[in-house]
Amino acid sequence: MVGNVALDVVIGLVFVYLLYSLYATVIMEIISSSLGLRAKNLSYTLKRMLMDEKKYTSNFRERSDRLLNTFMQIGGRAANLTNSNLYNAFLKQPSIKYLGSGGLNNRPSYLSAENFSRAVINALKTDDPDISLLGRVEQGLEELEIDLDIATDPAQPELSETVLHIQSLLDEANNDLVKFKILLENWFNDTMDRSTGWFKRTTQMILVLIGFLLAVSFNVDTLAIIDKLSKDDDARDQLVKMAVDFSEKNGTAIQTFTAARDTAASALALKSRLDSLQIVKKMLEDDIKNSQTILSSNWQIPDLLKYSLKKQPPRPDSVEVAYTTGNAGTVYLLVHKSVDPGILTRHLSDEAANGKIKVHTMGYKMAYVFSWEHFWGYLLTVLALSLGAPFWFDLLNKLVKLRSAKAIAPESEGKSLTVAATVSNREILNRQG
């Protein structure tokens, strides 16, 4: 039925998106775990809270620093922040210092609100034993403000916005230490909610880049896949079978993986996390290879192609390409039918020797991807992969259930008709009797 064909095409396409989005997620997690991106995001968040923005006299300099900051924050750095006294004192607190792994990337990737408020208070308070803790904190704020004034311009002192904000929280607490801690924790929680959004945008940017590299590397052209599945019954059936098996066998594992977060607190935990990611990566590579075989989507183009001086017999999976060389005249090449002959001839060597001709493979692939006919299929793939693996996994499960329901429905209708006919016949016999 046409309806079932259309549904199977969608299932096959969604399954391809799921495989590659999972693969992109695995690569993203490996990058994030290896480079400590979550720890760097937390470091940047704390800098935004405990440091001040620079004062600019030039709009151009301000905008350029903000643009630079967009990329620097991925590494936990900031181009438009200054006055790091409080931030540095905060990091030196034992409750913060020893949350890191102790290695090269000695920054925690997670921090509780209680630890934050305790460390801020300890970083601010002075050593005067004759006054209350809140008094020592207020005294520390005054001393910090004086240090900042001396560090900038004594003739035109500027108040620290961070110091002013903490002072406002202290005033709002009204000499109540518990309330002051709660206000600090609320400030931290509110900022961390936004920090989560910053990290998601960062990972989204990286995932788009990874998605593009995967689409080009594995030749994942959405429009070509739809065309292949619409016309090739065997390929469609095989891919749907793979999709159903994948959904049934890997459901729990995929849900656990997509919900996982990198909370490694030691080098050993980080190594275990990376090892598990490598296992998932290998499993996905096997499935991707199988799907490529079904779809004939491999880049079927070697660096050297055999040629003949005469036309060759046609093959069902190949097309013949005629090309005029500088030394051998017109030669004939048999290439896989997925190869674009027009683009290929622009990336062949002018010289042919020993029955072979050189192909500028990378040039061909780039020209193929960015050609008007094929670019939109790759763009659709990149946009689809950016939606993430959880989206495609949920959609695949729904489509598989819908397909199963469609398959069961005709059988149920047939049984209902048989039962109805039997009952009707009995009524007729009873009336006749």
| Tens-place pLDDT, residues 23-67 | 888 888 888 877 888 888 999 999 999 998 888 888 888 888 888
pLDDT for 275 = 57
pLDDT for 33 = 78
For 115-166, the three-class secondary structure string (H helix, E strand, C coil) is HHHHHHHHHHCCCCCCCCHHHHHHHHHHHHHHHHHHHCCCCCCCCCHHHHHH
- Is residue 412 pLDDT above 60, yes or no? no
Q: What percent of the chain is modeled with pLDDT above 90?
A: 16
How high is the mean pLDDT of the chain?
Answer: 80
Please return the burial class of 215, using the count of CB atoms within 10 Å of its CB with bins 0-12, 13-18 and 19+: buried
pLDDT tens, residue by residue, 389-400? 888 888 988 888
Q: Which two tokens stand for residue 180?
A: 């002051």
Closest to 79 (Cα-Cα) out of 96, 60, 66, 92: 66
Average confidence (pLDDT) over 303-316:
82
Task: State the amino acid at position 398 in one-letter form.
Answer: K
Helices (H), 312-432: 341-345, 361-369, 375-385, 389-432
pLDDT for 235 = 86
- Is residue 258 pLDDT above 70, yes or no? no
Please state, in angstroms and rounded to a whole number, the distance separating the CA atoms of residues 39 and 105. Answer: 8
Q: Tell me the sheet residues that pair with 358.
A: 304
User: pLDDT band at residue 426, thresholds of 50, 70 and 90?
Assistant: very low
- Is residue 185 pLDDT above 90, yes or no? yes
pLDDT for 2 = 47
The model's pTM is 0.72
Q: What is the DSSP string of 72-87?
A: HGGGT--SSEE--HHH
User: pLDDT band at residue 1, thresholds of 50, 70 and 90?
Assistant: very low
pLDDT for 191 = 93
Q: Tell me the sheet residues that pair with 82.
A: 52
**Residues ≥6 apart with Cβ < 8 Å to 253:** none
Average confidence (pLDDT) over 310-328:
81
pLDDT tens, residue by residue, 232-252? 888 888 888 888 888 777 766
pLDDT for 379 = 93
User: pLDDT band at residue 377, thresholds of 50, 70 and 90?
Assistant: very high
